[in-house]
Amino acid sequence: MEHDNIYLTNLRDEKQNMWTGLANYFRKRSMWMLYYCTGCGAIELPPTMTSRYDMERLGMGPMATPRQADLLLITGYLSVKTLKRVIWSYEQMQEPKYVVGFGSCPINGGIYWDAYPVINHLEAFMPVDMSIAGCMPRPQAIIDAFEKLMDEIQQGKAVGYKRYRKHYDWYKRNQDLVLNRQSAVLTPYVDPFASMPTAAELMAQESEDSHV
């Protein structure tokens, strides 16, 4: 299973000028997050938010709805049922928007890698700007990741939302494969992504029109 193939690397050629640089400064200093408590990772967030690690120092804070949020946190494993809601919420968020995957599960399925109701690669369904490995990542790691994300935002590298817009067809097909699955779930596993265009093809296409 060549799952590596399906990842799309970040688009890193955004043109930075003074205005986008300035805007990015404000964006990185004020990240409002929508923490989607899909799984176990949610338990690591309260210590990150409260007095021990105090995320508000960085200008971050929880928000109630996707309309208001900049940052979608996928905390832990993501089941197929939840995936639909996550995508719905992600599409309701306003640009620029960022996604952070928590723990191993959104990266490669983690301990649920062979569980039929859990998806293995979040990358295939929505652009992930930052992944935090670990099961579960500790608050230090979370803060660390946020700081790294802030750097990427400042440098104009965290542009996953643009990727989503550009390759929407690809993401949409991946989503449909899982969400509209017709075959029985306990039949032998067939990699649904085998027939997809590979990332290399997409990247090649991407370099043709480098302006996003």
Angle at 47 between CA 41 and CA 49, to 5 degrees: 100
* Chosen residue from 12, 85, 165, 181 binding other proteins by CB under 8 A: 85
Please tell me the total number of residues recorded for the chain in this structure.
212
Burial of 77 (0-12, 13-18, 19+ CB in 10 A): buried
Residue number with CB closer to other proteins (144 or 191)? 144
What's the Cα-to-Cα distance from 79 to each of 8, 114, 183, rounded to whole Å?
22, 12, 17
**Residues binding other proteins: number (CB under 8 A):** 31
Q: Is 203 helix (H, G, I), strand (E, B) or coil?
A: helix
**Nearest to residue 126, comparing CAs of 153, 156, 157, 101?**
101
30 binds other proteins (CB under 8 A): yes
Q: Is 81 helix (H, G, I), strand (E, B) or coil?
A: helix
Give CA 1 to chain center in angstroms.
Answer: 22
* Chosen residue from 56, 144, 191, 201 binding other proteins by CB under 8 A: 56
147 binds other proteins (CB under 8 A): no
Piece of the chain touching other proteins by CB under 8 A; list 83-91, 98-106, 110-118, 167-175: 83-91
CB 134 within 8 A of CB 141: yes
139 binds other proteins (CB under 8 A): no
Residue number with CB closer to other proteins (88 or 113)? 88
Residues 151-210 interacting with other proteins (rule: CB under 8 A): none
Tokens representing residue 159 in the block: 């542009």
d(CA 148, CA 74) in angstroms, rounded, equals 17
Backbone angles phi and psi of 31, in degrees to 5? -100, 115
* Chosen residue from 27, 121, 166, 167 binding other proteins by CB under 8 A: 27
96 binds other proteins (CB under 8 A): yes
94 binds other proteins (CB under 8 A): yes
* Chosen residue from 7, 21, 46, 50 binding other proteins by CB under 8 A: 50
Backbone angles phi and psi of 5, in degrees to 5? -65, -30
Piece of the chain touching other proteins by CB under 8 A; list 60-68, 108-116, 137-145, 201-209: 60-68
* DSSP code, position 27: H
51 binds other proteins (CB under 8 A): yes
* Chosen residue from 16, 43, 46, 68 binding other proteins by CB under 8 A: 68
Q: Which residues bind other proteins (CB under 8 A)?
A: 23, 26-27, 29-30, 32, 36, 50-51, 54, 56-59, 62-68, 70, 84-86, 88-89, 92, 94-96
